[in-house]
Amino acid sequence: MTPMDRRRFLKVTAITGTSAALARCGNPEHQIIRFVPEEELTPGIAVWKPSVCPLCNAGCGVLARVMDGDAEVFRNGEAGVTRMGLPRKLEGDPAHGVSQGRLCVRGQAALQVTYHPDRLASPRRRVGERGSGAFEDITWDAALTELIGRLDTLVEAGNAGQIAFIGRPRRGRRAELVAEFLRRIGAPAPVAFEFFDDAVIRRANELSFGRYQLPTIDLARTHYLIGFGADFLGTWNSPVAHGAAYGRMRQGQPGTVTKFVQVEPRMSQTGASANEWVAVPPGTEGVVALGLAHVIMRDGLRPASAAGRAGAMVEGFAQGLAAFAPADVERYTGITPARIERLAREFAANGPAVAVIGGPALAHTNGLAQALAVNALNALVGSVDVPGGVLFTPTEVAPVGPPRSLREVVGGAAAPQLLLLDEANPVYASPPGWHVADLLQRVPFIVSFGAFVDETSVLADLLLPDHSFLESWTESSPESGSADAANATAPPAMHPLYDTRSMPDVLLDVARRLQRPLDPPLPWQTFDEMVQAPTTVPAMPAAPSRAPDTPRAWADARFDGEAGTYPFHFLPYASQALLDGSLAHLPWLQELPDPLTTAMWSAWVEINPGTAERLGIAEGDMVEITSAHGSVRAPAVISPGIGPTAVAMPAGQGHDTFTRYASGRGANPVHVLAPLDEPETGALAWSATRVRIARVGAADGSLILFAGATRERPDHHGRG
């Protein structure tokens, strides 16, 4: 078929909405196999099936609108067409305590995960050089025989300790199964890897409140809110739940107008909704919190003792934080003492008042100290576990727990002998100084369960694609987002399209077929059975669990790179559309105009107008960003939401290998990051790199804005 024919062919398909024409190239239409439908459907009638959005850890309950249609499928090793129930739209499940009938922009696009043209349809085995992307189809039998053989050999030789598992920080039964499998085979605990990981806030909450858990901010009932860098309405924590609560905060409290103050170095999408926006240098957000606490205690508005254990975690708190008087705060942040005094008075006078910190503010070497400062401020004004304050969602499932970090694997002397990968993409999302790709090259055998080939799974020897979430049992036991437990379990919303297998069932199958049985054996035969059986993991205790720790001293944030050579702070941030880049393969999200820049299909660098003028950079010009660790190029967006000494860049683009929609598009800010971390948790300090910038060329058309496209240009440089 010529390319021309093929295009025309797709056109017909799209317009008629039928798959009758979807024969493999060269096959006359009458040779298509039509399978007997596996379910009874009433044509044109929609049914709603529950599921859980898999795209982030918020765990929103969804309803899929399922209608009949013809789909190209694989059944018993043959391709053909069948009439089946197909999810056509996802909505929030009104009965779910986190989504409350709503979904975020990413959840709306989750449908495209299932229908993605580059989804892996069957198991594959590497044939070319590692990383070349050359794979061949293989049967499940052959694939599992190979995997089981390798596991048997390792177990037999007493090397089960060299089996590694890298997944995303998921919760729930799937995570429980993985942990139990590894424990019983004698392997170390799974590694949870995500670029925007929340280890710092969880650890801070454990120290301050005895809860190793993300907080829920009871926005709907708060009267005064201070955010420290947390993008809780966009990309952080549980954005649907917090978005819904935010709407009620604004217009659901008759007679009350809540003030929202956001403190951050670069205006986030969340900060854009603040009544008062306070710019501070990166890594000093916590100083503002300590300064507010200082004034509140100094003026006798609250005694230091009111902060209890959370106060006791902050060195000098009991003495009124003498080192954080308004003049000291000004030295750190440039905020005038009068403003600090005013904000402190407002915060203390307008209860219930709550503070929240997250995201970029914690991605510093002093991230833990910053979080502890905000926790103490909340405790000081009595805003923990009260309406309008910080809440902790009761969970039946233990939290992810301090996970094994990727650094332990990367930093270990020997590479693992066998690596199981479950959707994590550390090759794309780790700083160059971690040398993750080098490490993986030294692992003799890598198996990936992901549904797509990305920068990490392209290194795998076996691809064992999982079903999509709509084809699987799904469950959620949200860690945050609700005052009450909001657990959900749902059976598959559709039959699988392809020759894929549910990863938990593959693990259970492998476990059964090992030469030396697991000790003790896993108590479940199938994952369906497991999700319907009670968990084996003890519930998170409702009361603070650990004894108070020693107080932590404030530490100034450290930055990589000499200020002389690298004069700008480099501030990567989570993209509203693509998040950490794991969603860059979804065309709906690629074509979503970014909320603050209207950019689509693009990466960009945000530069302050004065800085741009000084450096001769115009909007769209290509700019090179260089740190001591690498450089990237991206077009400039002139933005008034960032100060003259910083530049910002969204995460998400710059994929080498991640489907036709994401590969070879834009640049990846992670490539310039220094491997600094927050020492207590080992979390990457991704806001801690300094860079220099230079114009390297005129606009090359790679910055695609929607704002210019409909003829209106509401604003260009913020002076419109």
- Return residues touching ligand SF4 (CB under 6 A): 53, 55-56, 58-60, 103-104, 106-107, 239-240
Is 160 in a helix, a strand, or coil? helix
Least Cβ distance, residue 333 to other proteins (angstroms)? 11
Least Cβ distance, residue 14 to other proteins (angstroms)? 5
Q: Which is nearer to ligand SF4, 240 or 574 (CB)?
A: 240
Q: Which of 284, 380, 383, 321 is nearest to 553 (CA)?
A: 321
Residue 340 contact, options ligand SF4, other proteins, none, Cβ 5-8 Å cut-off depending on partner type: none
The answer to whether 238 touches 481, Cβ cutoff 8 Å, is yes
- Whole-angstrom distance, CA of residue 473 vs CA of residue 489: 7
Residue 173 contact, options ligand SF4, other proteins, none, Cβ 5-8 Å cut-off depending on partner type: none
Q: How far apart, in Å, do the first and last CA atoms of the chain sit?
A: 52
Residue 59 contact, options other proteins, ligand SF4, none, Cβ 5-8 Å cut-off depending on partner type: ligand SF4
Least Cβ distance, residue 162 to ligand SF4 (angstroms)? 34
Q: Which is nearer to ligand SF4, 56 or 670 (CB)?
A: 56
Q: Which is nearer to other proteins, 220 or 312 (CB)?
A: 220
Least Cβ distance, residue 225 to other proteins (angstroms)? 11
Least Cβ distance, residue 205 to other proteins (angstroms)? 24
Residue 56 contact, options other proteins, ligand SF4, none, Cβ 5-8 Å cut-off depending on partner type: ligand SF4
Q: Which is nearer to ligand SF4, 57 or 448 (CB)?
A: 57
Ramachandran region, residue 272 (left: φ > 0; alpha: ψ -120 to 50; beta: rest): alpha
Residue 58 contact, options other proteins, ligand SF4, none, Cβ 5-8 Å cut-off depending on partner type: ligand SF4
Residue 55 contact, options other proteins, ligand SF4, none, Cβ 5-8 Å cut-off depending on partner type: ligand SF4
Least Cβ distance, residue 48 to other proteins (angstroms)? 13
DSSP class per residue in 588-634: HHHTSPPTTT-EES---EEE-HHHHHHHT--TT-EEEEE-SS-EEEE
Q: Which is nearer to ligand SF4, 260 or 554 (CB)?
A: 260
Least Cβ distance, residue 262 to ligand SF4 (angstroms)? 16
Q: Which is nearer to other proteins, 643 or 675 (CB)?
A: 643
Residue 350 contact, options ligand SF4, other proteins, none, Cβ 5-8 Å cut-off depending on partner type: other proteins
Residue 273 contact, options ligand SF4, other proteins, none, Cβ 5-8 Å cut-off depending on partner type: other proteins
- Whole-angstrom distance, CA of residue 122 vs CA of residue 415: 28
Q: Which residue is nearest to ligand SF4 (CB)?
A: 107
Q: For the chain, what percentages of helix, strand and coil (3-state, to nearest 5) are there?
A: 30, 20, 50
Least Cβ distance, residue 431 to other proteins (angstroms)? 28
Amino acid at 663: S
Place of tokens 């049985």: 517
Q: How many CA atoms lie within 13 A of 128 on its CB side?
A: 7
The answer to whether 369 touches 320, Cβ cutoff 8 Å, is no
- Number of residues that this document lists for the chain: 720
Residue 80 contact, options other proteins, ligand SF4, none, Cβ 5-8 Å cut-off depending on partner type: none
Instruction: Please list the residues that pair with 91 across neighbouring strands.
Output: 63
- Whole-angstrom distance, CA of residue 360 vs CA of residue 288: 15
Q: Which is nearer to other proteins, 221 or 552 (CB)?
A: 221
Place of tokens 């709603």: 48
- Whole-angstrom distance, CA of residue 172 vs CA of residue 164: 20
148 membership: H or E segment, kind and range: helix 140-156
Q: Which is nearer to other proteins, 6 or 183 (CB)?
A: 6
The whole-angstrom distance between residue 563's C-alpha and the CA centroid of its chain comes to 31
Least Cβ distance, residue 363 to other proteins (angstroms)? 21
Q: Which is nearer to other proteins, 142 or 709 (CB)?
A: 709
Q: Which is nearer to ligand SF4, 64 or 381 (CB)?
A: 64
Is 257 in a helix, a strand, or coil? coil
Torsion 536-540-543-544 (CA) sign: positive
Place of tokens 């049992």: 473
Residue 490 contact, options ligand SF4, other proteins, none, Cβ 5-8 Å cut-off depending on partner type: none
Beta-carbon contacts of residue 484 (< 8 Å; ≥ 6 apart): 97, 393, 394
Least Cβ distance, residue 103 to ligand SF4 (angstroms)? 4
